[in-house]
Chains A and B, each alone.
Chain A
Amino acid sequence: MRLKKYCASPPVLLFHPIGRLELITGPTWIVSRIIVHSMRLKSSHLAFLAVAALVVSACSVPTDEGAIHDPYESFNRVSHTFNKGADRVLVRPLSQAYGATVPNPVRRSLSNVAAHLDEPKSVANHVLQGDVESAAHSFLRFLVNSTAGVVGLFDPAAGGFGLERRQTGFGDTLAAWGAREGAYLELPFAGPSTERDFVGLIVDVATNPVSHISSDVAILNTASTLPAALNVRYEFSDTVDSVLHDSADSYAQLRLSYIQNRKFKLNQQDPDDAGHDHFEDLYDEIYEELYDEF
């Protein structure tokens, strides 16, 4: 089916500090990040995981074109209920306190640091995807923000240099390599994902290049995601609340938003690829049906 190559949905979103709408996530990619980080996977394990990703994704094949492939729905819904509760009692109140007490420029800088430490991972994955231009772009961005940006506290690269962030991760790489999206998953703590993106998430966390610089940097990297994540939760509070707490079926809303947003991101990343067009993937018969039969 057409979606084969483009229908990813990585975890990067959630994970990603500066992620936006997509960070309509369950609470705590942070916790999962710490867990995975402490596992300190070795490269042999990673190779295994990469292969496993391809195999796993290949196993779970959507039967109904256009519909979201969700064979684990009952598990996912339990996990969703948990995530929602954790958001209500923990993440949301923390983010409100963070937003109310820490001034915006400080919050932005802390978020910038998290984004900055994530940059080498993007460079590596752009390379793996064969996108040399984006790899160079992200590499330059990393250099500029390391120096002029005072170790990532500021983001002059995006401002004066026109080097906007082009975040990517191993979930995207798997998609670029042709791995299928697989089934939809809602992970406890980490929120919405897919089989492919889940593998991407584990590989991303375990291999993040900056974590190998020193254990201090590794700790900083993990620690920096907390304020960054709280900041997104705070800045997009209305949107997240609306999806998570004001929807009639928040599970279905979150699933739909995640899958659509992932497709959009993946297609956006590869605009030169002919016949690879985000609208084509998102476009379906609903616009046709709108005027039929009436």
Chain B
Amino acid sequence: MKSSTTNSDPTRRTLLFAGACGAVALRVAPAHALSDDEARSLIDAVVNDIHRVINSGMPIQAALKEFENIFVNYADVQAIARSALGPPARTASPRQLRAFTDAFSGYISRKYGKRFREFKGGVIQVTESRKRSRVHEVRAIARLKGREPLAMSFVVSDRSGKTLFIDILIEGISLLKSERVEIGALLDRQGGDVDRLVAALNGTG
């Protein structure tokens, strides 16, 4: 939110005040701290949905749409998108940020949705949940047919006001960190122009 020290317009002041109250409410809301079980049940739900999609045999386009829904419902897409965009997220306009977030969520779903097809016939088993500093880590094992099991971790936070996941690690490799590097490189390629980055992301298969 923009603030102005010399501003005396009552409407904007009111808005500022309302905003401040909202911010305070958000800070106060998670007075009840996220428990291991709550973090785990979020990931149980994610895993159930993933199983449903990968074993449904639905056509790929429909499956990718489903993956996007899972991502939007269970992940803090805004926070992940902001982090992936890096410092330009602070200078981008709200409209740019919204456009980027939408483009990013489609891009992520297409990119990783395709990979989840490798999981067909496999099972993801949630194993444990524990608090790590200010986030929770929910561990799982992905057992794919005829392959050695893969270790997965979902990083869960309720700092947005809702319990959502903010990262997935597979064999220690963080999706969030990978995308920070990838989006950074794509942005460079577009000369640092967020609008062009959005167009490029929308064009990716």
Chain A positions near chain B (C-beta within 8 angstroms): 18, 20-22, 104, 108, 164-165, 235-236, 238-239, 242, 247-249, 252-253, 256-257, 260-265, 268, 278-280, 282-283, 286-291, 293-294
State whether A20 touches B132 (Cβ < 8 A): no
A293 neighbours in B (Cβ, 8 Å): 90
- Total A-B pairs, Cβ < 8 A: 103
Given contact pairs A238-B115, A249-B182, A253-B181, A287 touches B167 in the complex (Cβ within 8 A):
yes
**B163 at interface by CB-CB < 8 Å:** no
* Cα(A263)–Cα(B76), bound, Å: 26
Among candidates A18, A236, A257, A265, residue contacting B178 with C-beta atoms closer than 8 Å: A257
B180 neighbours in A (Cβ, 8 Å): 286
- Say what secondary structure dominates the interface of chain A: helix
Closest-CB distance, A6 to chain B (whole angstroms): 11
Residue of A with least CB distance to B167: A287
State whether B171 touches A21 (Cβ < 8 A): yes
**B191 at interface by CB-CB < 8 Å:** no
**B52 at interface by CB-CB < 8 Å:** no
Among candidates A108, A252, A253, A291, residue contacting B79 with C-beta atoms closer than 8 Å: A291
Among candidates B159, B172, B186, residue contacting A248 with C-beta atoms closer than 8 Å: B186
Given contact pairs A20-B171, A248-B186, A290-B166, A256 touches B177 in the complex (Cβ within 8 A):
yes
* Cα(A40)–Cα(B90), bound, Å: 57
Residue of A with least CB distance to B149: A164
State whether A260 touches B172 (Cβ < 8 A): yes
State whether B160 touches A291 (Cβ < 8 A): yes
State whether A252 touches B181 (Cβ < 8 A): yes
B residues 158-181 near A (Cβ < 8 Å) are 159-160, 166-167, 169-174, 176-178, 180-181
State whether A165 touches B148 (Cβ < 8 A): yes
B166 neighbours in A (Cβ, 8 Å): 287, 290
B135 neighbours in A (Cβ, 8 Å): 287
Closest-CB distance, A239 to chain B (whole angstroms): 6
Given contact pairs A253-B181, A256-B181, A279-B153, A21 touches B173 in the complex (Cβ within 8 A):
yes
